[in-house]
């Protein structure tokens, strides 16, 4: 191959490169004649090849600055151009050969595409911000201690204990029958704590299928198993980082997951399914159960070491039957919730029944009964016939059968039954007995004396 052929091949190679790049390129020779433009130049400026190629640049592009670069050999960068709706910036440079200027080149970049990309970026940012806000709303505590209605002594003691627990760093175990408001206490504790501005992630351990529970709690990496999501999944523990995770119905957690939960609490880190790296997390655990977790531990269905990790501070929520003095307040609050502005009136017969009824479903049952009754009543007056059928059917069972004996004997027997029932409600510990004494309205010493007297 001759030198001329090599030069021709090299020039062809350079021209192909210019034609392939995404910026607009225009080249002039020493006389200012346009020798080359690429398709991007036409796309950006609107100037077609047949109208400019082979012509003196200033004849076809009035005010062309590239000729000045050709003359003085100075580079020029970021020159703004606007022609109609087209906006672009131009960089210019001389072309040297053997130390002599043999031409000049301008490279232009479209601002229209930049504007489109900027708008798309801004739109994406807004979508991300909206999604983030939605996630924050989902994982945000919704209640405070002000939402807990009642003046009962045992309830107030539980509230005070919960406020103290909120200011600690210890994990918390909330015990209580179904419907007593354990989740309400969990929300309130988080709101009272130093973590109040961080996520509150509730998890119902009995509602998640066993085969999905590990991936829900700890997440997984992409490709960890068949049908796993592209990009993997963030677990609920990771979502709760710097905040609180609320594990409701903790007693339903399978034994194999108890081991993994224990490790997460002990190590302060998680590893996703299919992952190789540990990720440190800072999560406070509040758990709740309607069962006696100590008994489940004794039966071997719950790990003792996990129990102690969860049971840093124990909170026991009293059942509604133990704080019936709060019924008027609760009824008033629920009536206002379901029928704002309407002063519904409950008959004396209904009030007496409510006071005698044991409320096995606790505040949740009261919530449903009041809602049902207000919807069934034809006027603002609520009578027995407006209550749910299952409640009306239980009416005959709330009254106790006749007893025999002297008044002193009957009083002693009744007192014994009340004390035993109250003690069964609370934890068998010093704190539990303090709560029982508060619920009964007696001192701890008096309660111990009566327990001793009845055990003889």
Residue 314 or residue 134, greater confidence: 314
Percentage above 70 pLDDT, the chain: 94
Q: At what angle do helices 430-440 and 153-166 cross, to 10 degrees?
A: 140
Residues 317/161, Cβ–Cβ less than 8 Å: no
pLDDT of residue 401: 47
pLDDT class of 5 with cuts at 50, 70, 90: low
What fold characterizes domain 320-398? Answer: Helicase, Ruva Protein; domain 3 (1.10.8)
Span 407-430, mean pLDDT? 77
**CA separation for the pair 239, 368 (Å, rounded):** 33
Is the pLDDT at 420 greater than 60? The verdict is yes
User: Which whole number is the average pLDDT over 340-348?
Assistant: 82
Question: Model confidence over 376-390: pLDDT tens digits?
Answer: 988 888 999 999 988
Q: What is the 3-state secondary structure (H, E, C) of the chain?
A: CCHHHHHHHHHHHHHHHHHHCCCEEEEEECCCEEEEECHHHHHHHCCCHHHHCCCEHHHHCCCCCHHHHHHHCCCEEEEEEEECCEEEEEEEEEEEECCEEEEEEEEEEEHHHHHHHHHHHHHHHHHHHHHHHHHHHHCCCCCCHHHCCCCCHHHHHHHHHHHHHHCCCCCEEEECCCCCCHHHHHHHHHHHCCCCCCCEEEEECCCCCHHHHHHHHHEECCCCCCCCCCCCEECHHHHCCCCEEEEECHHHCCHHHHHHHHHHHHHCEECCECCCCCEECCCEEEEEECCCHHHHHHCCCCCHHHHHHHCCEEEECCCHHHCHHHHHHHHHHHHHHHCCCCCCEECHHHHHHHHHCCCCCHHHHHHHHHHHHHHHCCCCEECHHHCCHHHHHCHHHHCCCCCCCCHHHHHHHHHHHHHHHHHHHCCCCHHHHHHHHHHHCCCHHHHHHHHHHHCC
At residue 284, the pLDDT reads 97
pLDDT of residue 397: 55
Give me the pLDDT at residue 132, please: 66
For 40-81, write each residue's pLDDT tens digit: 999 999 999 999 999 999 999 887 899 999 999 999 999 999
Res 312 pLDDT > 80: yes
What confidence tens digit (pLDDT) does each residue in 134-166 have?
666 677 889 999 999 999 999 999 999 999 999
Return the bridge partners of 288, or none: 174
Which strands form 200-204's sheet, in the order they lie side by side? Answer: 200-204, 244-248, 284-289, 172-175, 313-316
Cα–Cα dist 412/400, whole Å: 16
* pLDDT score for 227: 72
In this prediction, residue 286 carries a pLDDT of 98
Does 121 score more than 90 pLDDT?
Answer: no
Stretch 104-108: mean pLDDT: 94
Instruction: Look at 115 and 233; give whichever has higher pLDDT.
Output: 233
Distance of CA 446 to the CA centre of its chain: 47
Neighbours of 109 (CB within 10 A): 16
User: Residue 81's beta-bridge partner residues?
Assistant: 88
Average pLDDT over residues 441-445: 86
pLDDT per residue as tens digits for the range 214-226: 999 999 998 787 7
Domains of the chain by residue range = 3-114, 139-316, 320-398, 407-454
| pLDDT higher than 90, residue 115 | no
Residue 168's pLDDT is what?
Answer: 95
- What is the rounded average pLDDT of the residues 380-403? 75
In the chain, the N- to C-terminal Cα span, in Å, equals 121
The predicted model gives 293-300 an average pLDDT of 90
Does residue 231 register a pLDDT over 90? Answer: no
CATH number for the region 139-316 comes to 3.40.50.300
pTM: 0.64
Q: Is the domain 3-114 a CATH 3.30.450.20 member?
A: yes
User: In whole angstroms, how far apart are CA 96 and each of 21, 32, 105?
Assistant: 21, 15, 11
**Chain segment 362-377, per-residue pLDDT in tens:** 999 999 999 999 999 8
The predicted pLDDT at position 412 comes to: 79
- Predicted confidence at residue 118, as pLDDT, reads 79
Dist. CA 186–CA 174, nearest whole Å? 8
Mean predicted confidence (pLDDT) in 296-325: 94
Average pLDDT over residues 286-303: 92
Region 88-106: what's the mean pLDDT?
93
Please state, rounded to an integer, the average pLDDT across all residues of the chain: 88
Q: Is the pLDDT of residue 400 over 70?
A: no
């Amino acid at each position: 191959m001759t030198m001329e052929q090599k030069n021709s091949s090299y020039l062809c190679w350079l021209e192909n490169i210019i034609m392939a790049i995404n910026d607009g390129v225009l080249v002039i020779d020493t006389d200012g004649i346009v020798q080359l433009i690429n398709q991007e130049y036409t796309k950006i400026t609107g100037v077609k090849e047949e109208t400019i190629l082979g012509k003196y640049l200033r004849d076809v592009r009035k005010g062309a600055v590239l000729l000045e670069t050709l003359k003085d050999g100075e580079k020029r960068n970021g020159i703004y151009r606007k022609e109609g709706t087209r906006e672009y910036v131009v960089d210019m440079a001389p072309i040297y050969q053997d130390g002599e200027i043999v031409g000049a080149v301008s490279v232009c970049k479209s601002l229209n595409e930049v504007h489109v990309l900027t708008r798309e970026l801004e739109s994406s940012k807004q979508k991300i911000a909206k999604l983030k806000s939605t996630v924050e709303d989902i994982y945000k505590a919704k209640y405070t201690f002000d939402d807990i209605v009642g003046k009962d002594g045992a309830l107030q003691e539980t509230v005070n204990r919960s406020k103290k627990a909120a200011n600690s760093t210890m994990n918390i175990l909330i015990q209580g029958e179904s419907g007593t408001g354990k989740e309400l206490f969990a929300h309130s504790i988080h709101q009272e704590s130093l973590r109040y501005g961080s996520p509150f992630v509730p998890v119902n351990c009995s509602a998640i299928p066993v085969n999905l529970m590990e991936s829900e709690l700890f997440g997984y990496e992409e490709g960890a198993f068949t049908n796993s999501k592209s990009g993997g999944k963030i677990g609920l523990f990771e979502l709760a980082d710097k905040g609180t995770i609320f594990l409701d119905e903790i007693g339903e957690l399978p034994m194999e997951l108890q081991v993994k939960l224990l490790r997460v609490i002990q190590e302060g880190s998680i590893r996703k399914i299919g992952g190789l790296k540990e990720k440190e997390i800072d999560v406070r655990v509040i758990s709740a159960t309607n069962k006696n977790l100590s008994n489940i531990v004794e039966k071997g269905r719950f790990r003792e070491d996990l129990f102690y990790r969860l049971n840093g501070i124990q909170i026991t929520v009293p059942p509604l039957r133990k704080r019936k003095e709060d019924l008027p307040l609760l009824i008033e609050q629920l009536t206002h919730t379901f029928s704002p502005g309407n002063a519904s009136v409950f008959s004396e017969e209904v009030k007496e029944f409510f006071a005698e009824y044991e409320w096995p479903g606790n505040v949740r049952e009261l919530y449903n009964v009041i809602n049902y009754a207000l919807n069934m009543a034809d006027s603002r007056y609520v009578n027995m016939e407006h209550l749910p059928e299952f409640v009306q059917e239980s009416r005959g069972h709330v009254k106790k059968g006749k007893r025999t004996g002297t008044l002193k004997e009957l009083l002693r027997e009744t007192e014994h039954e009340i004390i035993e029932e109250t003690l069964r409600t609370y934890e068998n510990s010093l704190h539990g007995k303090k709560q029982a004494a508060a619920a009964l309205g007696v001192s701890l010493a008096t309660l111990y004396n009566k327990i001793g007297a009845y055990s003889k």
